C-alpha cells in the first residue's frame, strides 16, 4: 500500500493535506468522540493524514498514548509538525506504513480509529484482519468514511455489509449509521472486539448440540 499514495504525496499531497485538515476536521473530532476508552488508553489512528485526528485524540487522552500509521511521506511530515510537542514528549508515535501491515504486536491497542481511508484499503480483507489483530479483546473500533467516496466504486450499503461481515469473522461486533458532516454524509461503523465472548458462545453451542455421552454398557446375562 505504500505505493498507493497518488494524490497524497509530492506537491499534490501538500495541497491535499491543507484541504483535508480543514474539511475533515469535524469528522476527525466525531471519530474521537465515538471512543469510550480510559484516559490512559493506547489508540491507533490508521491513515492519520495531516494529523488533525491524532491531535484530537491526544487532547482527549492526556495520559494515554496515540500511535498512527499512514503510507504517505507528505502526511507523515505534516502530521509530525502538527503534533510536534506530543511527539517529542513521547505521547504520540507516528509510522509510515499501510493498514495491511500494522507495525505493532497482537492486542497492543485499546482502540483503533480510521477516518476517510477505509475506502482506499487494498486488499480490504488484509487491512481489517490487521486492525482486528492489533486491537485487544474488549477493545473498540471506529471507522468513519465519506459516503460519496465509497459510492465512487459501488453501492455504499454493499460496502458496509462487506466490512461488517469481514470484521465479524474476526470477532468484531459492529453497528453502522450515517451522520451529516460539513463535507457530506459520513458512514460511521463502530465495533467492539469480542473474541473471548465469541469463543465462549461457540463452546456453549457445541456443548448444547453434542450428543449425550453413552451410558455404561449393560453386562450380558450369565448362563
**Tally of residues, the chain:** 223
The domain total for the chain is 1
**Exposure string over 146-185, b if 16+ CB within 10 A, otherwise e:** bbebbeeeeebeebbeebbebbeebbbebebeeeebebee
Is-contact 106 133, C-beta < 8 A?
yes
Q: pTM to 2 decimals?
A: 0.86
- Which residues lie below 8 Å from residue 78, measured CB to CB, with a gap of 6+? 14, 17, 21, 49, 50, 51
pLDDT recorded at residue 9 = 84
- Within a domain: 3: no
From 183, 170, 182, select the one nearest 141 (Cα to Cα).
170
From 146, 156, 88, select the one nearest 115 (Cα to Cα).
146
- Within a domain: 5: no
- Within a domain: 190: yes
pLDDT recorded at residue 2 = 46
H-helix segments, the chain? 10-23, 25-34, 52-60, 73-82, 84-88, 124-134, 147-150, 156-168, 195-209
- Within a domain: 218: no
- How far, in whole angstroms, is CA 96 from its chain's centroid? 16
Q: How far apart are CA 73 and CA 13, in angstroms?
A: 9
pLDDT tens, position by position, for the chain (223 residues)? Answer: 443 555 688 888 889 999 999 999 999 999 999 998 999 999 999 999 999 999 999 999 999 999 999 999 999 999 999 999 999 999 999 999 999 999 999 999 999 999 999 999 999 999 999 999 999 999 999 999 999 999 999 999 999 999 999 999 999 999 999 999 999 999 999 999 997 655 555 555 566 776 766 655 555 555 5
Is-contact 64 56, C-beta < 8 A?
no
Q: What is the rounded radius of gyration, in angstroms, for the C-alpha atoms of the chain?
A: 22
Q: CATH number of the domain that 126 lies in?
A: 3.40.50.150
Provide the 3-class DSSP secondary structure of residue 179: strand
- Within a domain: 217: no
Provide the 3-class DSSP secondary structure of residue 42: strand
Structural domain range at position 17: 10-208
- Within a domain: 215: no
- Within a domain: 56: yes
- Within a domain: 214: no
Beta bridge partners of 92: 66
Amino acid at each position: 500500500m505504500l505505493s498507493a499514495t497518488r494524490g497524497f504525496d509530492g506537491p499534490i499531497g501538500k495541497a491535499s493535506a491543507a484541504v483535508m485538515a480543514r474539511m475533515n476536521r469535524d469528522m476527525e473530532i466525531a471519530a474521537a468522540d465515538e471512543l469510550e476508552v480510559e484516559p490512559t488508553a493506547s489508540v491507533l489512528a490508521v491513515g492519520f493524514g495531516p494529523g488533525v485526528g491524532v491531535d484530537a485524540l491526544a487532547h482527549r487522552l492526556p495520559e494515554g498514548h496515540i500511535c498512527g500509521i499512514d503510507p504517505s511521506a507528505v502526511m507523515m511530515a505534516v502530521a509530525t509538525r502538527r503534533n510536534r510537542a506530543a511527539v517529542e514528549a513521547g505521547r504520540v508515535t507516528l509510522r509510515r506504513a499501510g493498514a495491511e501491515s500494522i507495525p505493532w504486536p497482537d492486542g497492543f491497542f485499546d482502540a483503533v480509529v480510521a477516518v476517510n481511508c477505509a475506502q482506499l484499503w487494498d486488499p480490504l480483507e488484509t487491512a481489517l484482519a490487521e486492525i482486528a489483530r492489533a486491537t485487544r479483546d474488549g477493545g473498540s473500533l471506529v471507522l468513519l468514511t465519506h459516503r460519496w467516496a465509497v459510492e465512487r466504486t459501488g453501492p455504499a450499503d454493499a460496502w458496509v455489509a462487506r466490512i461488517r461481515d469481514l470484521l465479524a469473522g474476526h470477532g468484531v461486533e459492529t453497528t453502522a449509521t450515517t451522520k451529516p458532516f460539513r463535507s457530506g454524509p459520513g458512514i460511521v461503523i463502530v465495533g467492539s472486539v469480542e473474541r473471548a465472548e465469541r469463543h465462549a458462545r461457540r463452546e456453549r453451542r457445541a456443548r448444547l448440540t453434542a450428543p449425550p455421552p453413552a451410558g455404561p454398557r449393560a453386562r450380558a446375562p450369565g448362563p
